[in-house]
Amino acid sequence: MNSSSVTATAEAADKLAFSKPAVEDGAAMWELVNNSTLDQNSVYKYIMMSEFFAETCVVAKENDKLVGFVTAFIPPERQDVVFVWQIGVSSDQRGKGVASRLLQELVSRDACRDVRFVEATVTPSNDASQSLFRGLAQKYNTGCHVEELFPEELFPTDDHEGELSFRIGPIEK
């Protein structure tokens, strides 16, 4: 990537607005997923996450159009963890650092002030997500522990890989 490409990418990313999702964003989140290779969830999931977990979810918008999101929650029994359920970035925004910025926005939220670990599950073939979470560990100069969590035998259909657990931290803010 040459310096003009880097500058153009940075300028495009600066035009994005990051915020908590509103319930009205749920349909746009679902549409983004529906037009990608991400695991499909019901539109209800995105509306529900926007209503009940807005403090730990982030949307990225360009000119009021949703172009990325992260859905996450803090498990009740582990207040020092934020679990990232799903990250979606529209195809025209990929490669611009949007997913990284979504995660950084999430970690910097007041709701995550006691969070020291970011956790997620990632399929073995999802190189982009694996790179994203390893990059988050590098950004915070911390560890990234990966292990098998849900073997593919747990899934009732043949079209779902097992899931690896990624644990990034401890994060010092």
pLDDT beyond 70 at 37:
yes
Strand 81-89's sheet: what is its strand order? 17-19, 58-62, 65-73, 81-89, 117-122, 163-169, 143-150
Which of the residue ranges 32-46, 66-80, 156-170 has the most confident prediction, judged by mean pLDDT? 66-80
pLDDT in tens, 72-105: 999 999 999 999 999 999 999 999 999 999 999 9
Residue 5 has pLDDT above 50, yes or no: no
Rounded to two decimals, the pTM is 0.88
